[in-house]
Amino acid sequence: MSASIVLKPGREKALNRRHPWIFSMAIKKVVGKPGIGETVDIFDNQGKWLAKGAYSPQSQIRVRLWSFDQQEAIDLAFFVNRISAALDSRQALIKEQQLTGYRLVAAESDYLPGITIDHYADTLVCQLLSAGAEFNRHLIIAALEQLFPQHKIYDRSDVDVRKKEGLEKTQGPIKGELSEELSIIEENGVKILVDIANGHKTGFYFDQRDNRRIAGGYCRDKTVLNCFSYTGTFGIYALKNGAKHFTNVDLSQSALDIAKKNIETNGLDLAKVDFVQADVFKLLRKYREEGKTFDVIILDPPKFADNKSQLNGACRGYKDINMVAMQLLNPGGTLLTYSCSGLMSADLFQKVVADAALDAKRDAQIIGRLSQASDHPIASTFPEGFYLKGLALTIR
């Protein structure tokens, strides 16, 4: 008999809507002594069985639910089934865009809370973020070995959020060794170099794939400024689409070094590309002082808000860069602007951009609403899975 959790009266509502989290304050009592990450049964106050999930004693998110089916055991078959379902749901995308790099499992959004798995050509990279994911690590790895017997497996669970779950950061090879070289993935006929061991997140931003393609379409014969470029993949699409000149800006020199290699690897003209190691906030102002202008500007900053208390500051940050970017655009120019802060709703982001236009004294017309690529789905029961939003605007 596994340990169990009894909810306070009325607190079963979120579960009835199949939201995958139970917060600590919803819990009336814990029966038994579940260990960190162990599977527990969840009952309502009347003793009705509701779900089973992973117990995380140190986190405000006290339980992450695995299943609403009492008969479903959390075993190897469970992980094989869920991961195969995630793979199946991506097959059309993989084929259509000829992907060797994609997010295979997007955690809660693929009904596997706390588990991110990215596919990089011959290597799978795991990020296990929750107590339940860590507790079942051996089963998750065994499932991956069963489904992808030829693949290497690498752990990039070196993230701060693990602390909230009472877990240490971990990183390193699980099966096979990474080669000394950077990994190469392909999407839409573009080659992209990825530093799996040292890159951001698990190495790369798959979520911007559709937006790279869309951006390319705005860049023919244009001068383009790509702020927060990371490894410069927007630029590959832009140059393939005939951009006149492209400037990548990032704080990270190692990201810019890969950006340069990305241009070479795709046989594109390095003479058309600049790589600027700078703080975007300062550089945009410097360009404004110098009277520099561009036809297209891409703004893809890192997450500005990790919690609600940071949201106001985040709004100020977004407004600031958007305002100055608008001032740098030639009349009729295009701004492609994104926010990957989940706490910032699409409505709020639009308001911030509208305020930026007022302050910039420019007219801004929304010509496109942008989102995360479909290998980052949004489960209808987990709206929090929607985090990346963007706007394409004509600035006059």
By annotation, the residues acting in catalysis are 340
Q: Is 148 in the site for ligand SAH (CB under 6 A)?
A: no
Q: How far is the CB of 364 from ligand SAH (least distance, A)?
A: 21
Q: In the complex with ligand SAH, which residue's Cβ is closer, 37 or 203? A: 203
The full DSSP string for 273-306 is EEEEES-HHHHHHHHHHHT--EEEEEE-PPP--S
Cα distance between residue 62 and residue 52, in whole Å: 12
Q: Is 324 in the site for ligand SAH (CB under 6 A)?
A: no
Q: In the complex with ligand SAH, which residue's Cβ is closer, 250 or 295? A: 250
Cα distance between residue 26 and residue 6, in whole Å: 9
Taking contact as CB under 6 A, which single stretch among the options 141-149, 222-230, 374-382, 388-396 is the one that binds ligand SAH? 222-230
Cα distance between residue 342 and residue 389, in whole Å: 9
Nearest to 6 by CA among 39, 32, 36, 44: 44
One of 126, 128, 280, 373 touching ligand SAH (CB under 6 A): 280
Over the window 178 to 217, marking each residue x when it contacts ligand SAH by CB under 6 A and - when it does not, the resulting string is ---------------------------x--x---------
One of 32, 176, 242, 302 touching ligand SAH (CB under 6 A): 302
Tally Cβ neighbours within 10 Å of residue 269.
10
Taking contact as CB under 6 A, which single stretch among the options 94-102, 247-255, 327-335, 359-367 is the one that binds ligand SAH? 247-255
> 123-157: buried (b, 16+ CB within 10 Å) or exposed (e) per residue?
bbbbbbbbbbbbbbbebbbebbeeebeebbbbbbb
Q: How far is the CB of 60 from ligand SAH (least distance, A)?
A: 27
Cα distance between residue 160 and residue 384, in whole Å: 19
Q: Is 305 in the site for ligand SAH (CB under 6 A)?
A: no
The pairing of beta strand 329-339 with beta strand 273-277: unpaired
Q: Is 230 in the site for ligand SAH (CB under 6 A)?
A: yes
Q: Is 255 in the site for ligand SAH (CB under 6 A)?
A: yes
Q: Is 23 in the site for ligand SAH (CB under 6 A)?
A: no
Q: In the complex with ligand SAH, which residue's Cβ is closer, 154 or 205? A: 205
Q: In the complex with ligand SAH, which residue's Cβ is closer, 136 or 372? A: 372
One of 118, 155, 250, 295 touching ligand SAH (CB under 6 A): 250
Q: In the complex with ligand SAH, which residue's Cβ is closer, 54 or 255? A: 255
The pairing of beta strand 61-67 with beta strand 49-55: antiparallel
Rg (CA), the chain: 23
* Residue where the block lists tokens 């405000």: 60
Q: Is 75 in the site for ligand SAH (CB under 6 A)?
A: no
Taking contact as CB under 6 A, which single stretch among the options 52-60, 120-128, 225-233, 240-248 is the one that binds ligand SAH? 225-233
Strands (E), 114-221: 115-120, 123-128, 152-157, 170-175, 183-187, 190-194
- Bridge-partner residues for 61, per DSSP? 23
Please report, as ranges, the residues that interact with ligand SAH according to CB under 6 A: 205, 208, 228-231, 233-234, 249-252, 255, 279-281, 300, 302
